[in-house]
Amino acid sequence: MSTTVIIGGVAGGMSTATRLRRNDENMNIIVLESSGYVSFANCGLPYFIGGEITKRSNLLLQTPQSLKARFNLDVRTGSTATHINRAEKTVTVDGPEGTYELNYDNLVLSPGARPLTPPIPGIDKAFTLRTVEDTDRIVHTISTTEAKKAVVIGGGFIGLELAENLIKQGIDVTIVERAPHIMAPLDAEMAAIVTAHLEKSGVTILSNTQVTAIEDGVVHAGERKIPADTIIAALGVQPASDLAQQAGLELNEHGGIVVNSRQQTSDPAIFALGDAAQKTDAISGTATMVPLAQTANRHGRLVADIITGRNTEAQPVLGTAIIGLFGLAIATTGWNERRARAEDKNVRVIHSHPANHAGYYPGATSLNLKLIVDAEDDSILGAQAIGHDGVDKRIDIIATAMRARLKASDLADLELAYAPQFGSAKDPINMLGFINDNIIRGERTVQWHELDTTLQEGWTLVDVRTPSEYDRGSIPNAINIPVDELRDRLSELDGKKVLVHCQVGLRGHIACTLLSNNGIECANLDGGYITWKFGQATRS
């Protein structure tokens, strides 16, 4: 009877354990979990703090007892693996029963990640959130101290989710973000949409701001001293790979455990997965770290299959992710523009701001979409979506298209479900494909950040919206010629190079084809006034 020891009993580890049992009734399967809980809903922790999830027991999806009953697993909580002896194939365990050794035939490392705590004086006064115990501490403090003011250090997913949930508990929240904008997976002009929404929802955001010290009740951030009774450090995570390192397993530059496509570490009897393990980037094929629950779960199943003799391999990852914040959904997949440009890609970028479903049906809301395409081969590099409804759907469609290596132009012809409550006869995804196709066929677009230099090159900026739209807010130096008057006013633009824009880009496209077909050199401001406006916010 072979023994598999699994270190880590949450997403990846427990998926491995239960699949192992389904594949092999006789294997000895031991799961070691340092914390007091296994298989808990880690993505739900912020929502318990905010009171959205009301029962603590709802976070605890399984217990060692339930896992014994259903899967005959030997699950040991409060049990930390302290040493791996690869030659002897043993693990030293420090648990409630003392210290002991376990033999293994296969060892699975799914230790997860731990919150980054940079060397800021007083950082130990800040809470972090990773485990049920962390959650209990935050809930206890909030409820016993009548917390009123919180500082969240770090504007990533966890920090933002916590900000929302602290606000729901009636606590003032300031987010301090070192980078130029929150939500690093987004590009700046897209992050500006989120920032505006958070600020409208009562969150104070200080970007480009470094926390230098934490004292009792005060966070020193840049020049400011921010009073705070609750301080949370949400600065990202690092792989919990100490044990792997001690065992001499190969780590990458981020401290991630290096694995092959079978999730094997440099020791073929030791597998690694989840937040601590290296992944392969789906676009570049290079090593990457993507700490996401769904990947851990899928790789858990895979590792179990490989251990029980199946010949299979992990797929590279896109890093598809989503977050909900005060009713807004923000999702991404693949690379952002920043990354694509850093990798020297010839980037084609498309912004659009369509309605989530047919505008004539009540309740339509705006989506903000961004598609990043490799102009060399029309492959999709990534996408970002922000809106109130239909965001997850659009990103999942693009993630599926990317996985299947569809081209950006193929989005034009996807056959998506249409009824006026659910989409549009030309779905926003189709529209992205159409816009992409138009650009391939020669339509020139100018990005929001290229506007100034384009105008400096002598282009004339024409706002083709209605006069009332123009009056409500316009781009400096734009002259207003509504698209429906353009055909009769061509003489005003004779001999000029014309940069047109509308609200979102669609009328601009119509205007641009009209001008081009009349022999006037033309470009369209991508994403129109809306993208430009959010772009301006990145400069403040």
**Site residues for a second copy, window 472-491 (CB under 8 A)?**
483-485, 487
Minimum Å distance from CB 334 to a second copy?
A: 10
Work out whether 328 is an interface residue with a second copy (CB under 8 A). Answer: no
Annotated catalytic residues are 43
What residue has token string 């009877």?
1
Minimum Å distance from CB 67 to a second copy?
A: 10
User: Quick one: which of 88, 419, 467, 471 contacts a second copy (CB under 8 A)?
Assistant: 419
Closer of 80 and 516 to a second copy (Cβ)? 516
Closer of 110 and 320 to a second copy (Cβ)? 320
Q: Which helix (H) or strand (E) element contains residue 4? A: strand 3-7
Q: Judged by CB under 8 A, which stretch of 126-134, 203-211, 424-432, 521-529 contacts a second copy?
A: 424-432
Work out whether 187 is an interface residue with a second copy (CB under 8 A). Answer: no
User: Quick one: which of 9, 155, 239, 423 contacts a second copy (CB under 8 A)?
Assistant: 423
- Amino acid, res. 325: L
Tokens of 427: 């779905």
Please tell me the distance from the alpha carbon of residue 34 to that of residue 273, in angstroms, as a whole number.
17
Q: Which helix (H) or strand (E) element contains residue 462? A: strand 460-463
Q: Judged by CB under 8 A, which stretch of 45-53, 126-134, 210-218, 343-351 contacts a second copy?
A: 45-53
Minimum Å distance from CB 297 to a second copy?
A: 5
Sketch the per residue contact string, 333 through 372, with a second copy: x for CB under 8 A, - otherwise. x------------------------x-xxx----------
Residues in binding contact with a second copy, number by CB under 8 A:
86
Closer of 89 and 339 to a second copy (Cβ)? 339
Closer of 205 and 329 to a second copy (Cβ)? 329
Minimum Å distance from CB 520 to a second copy?
A: 11
User: Quick one: which of 85, 421, 453, 477 contacts a second copy (CB under 8 A)?
Assistant: 421
Residue 129, burial from CB neighbour count under 10 angstroms (0-12, 13-18, 19+)? buried
Residue 456, burial from CB neighbour count under 10 angstroms (0-12, 13-18, 19+)? exposed
Please tell me the distance from the alpha carbon of residue 52 to that of residue 274, in angstroms, as a whole number.
27
Work out whether 321 is an interface residue with a second copy (CB under 8 A). Answer: yes
Please tell me the distance from the alpha carbon of residue 92 to that of residue 106, in angstroms, as a whole number.
15
The residues, any chain, with a CB within 8 Å of residue 412's CB and separated by 6 or more, are: 430, 433, 434, 436, 437
Phi-psi map region of 276: left, alpha, beta (phi>0 left; psi -120 to 50 alpha): alpha
Crossing angle between the packed helical segments 188-200 and 157-168, to the nearest 10 degrees = 10
Single out the residue of 235, 207, 201 nearest to residue 221, CA to CA.
Answer: 207
Q: Judged by CB under 8 A, which stretch of 42-50, 74-82, 136-144, 530-538 contacts a second copy?
A: 42-50
CB contact at 8 A, 284 and 274 = no
Q: Judged by CB under 8 A, which stretch of 16-24, 141-149, 256-264, 338-346 contacts a second copy?
A: 16-24
Single out the residue of 32, 59, 29 nearest to residue 46, CA to CA.
Answer: 59
Sketch the per residue contact string, 377 through 416, with a second copy: x for CB under 8 A, - otherwise. ---------------xx-xxx-xxx-xxxx---x-xxxxx
Residue 310, burial from CB neighbour count under 10 angstroms (0-12, 13-18, 19+)? exposed
Three-state secondary-structure class, residue 426: coil
Work out whether 426 is an interface residue with a second copy (CB under 8 A). Answer: yes
Work out whether 58 is an interface residue with a second copy (CB under 8 A). Answer: yes
Closer of 456 and 491 to a second copy (Cβ)? 491
DSSP class of residue 38 equals S
The residues, any chain, with a CB within 8 Å of residue 476's CB and separated by 6 or more, are: none
Ordered DSSP codes for 246-280? HTT--B-TTSPBP--TT-B-SSTTEEE-GGGB-EE
Site for a second copy in 494-513 (CB under 8 A): 509-510, 513
Work out whether 96 is an interface residue with a second copy (CB under 8 A). Answer: no
Closer of 220 and 393 to a second copy (Cβ)? 393
Work out whether 208 is an interface residue with a second copy (CB under 8 A). Answer: no
Closer of 224 and 489 to a second copy (Cβ)? 489
Please tell me the distance from the alpha carbon of residue 204 to that of residue 163, in angstroms, as a whole number.
10
Site for a second copy in 292-311 (CB under 8 A): 292-298, 301
Ordered DSSP codes for 361-374? STT--BEEEEEEEE
Work out whether 427 is an interface residue with a second copy (CB under 8 A). Answer: yes
Work out whether 329 is an interface residue with a second copy (CB under 8 A). Answer: yes
User: Quick one: which of 29, 138, 176, 331 contacts a second copy (CB under 8 A)?
Assistant: 331
Work out whether 269 is an interface residue with a second copy (CB under 8 A). Answer: no
Q: State the Rg of the chain over Cα.
A: 26
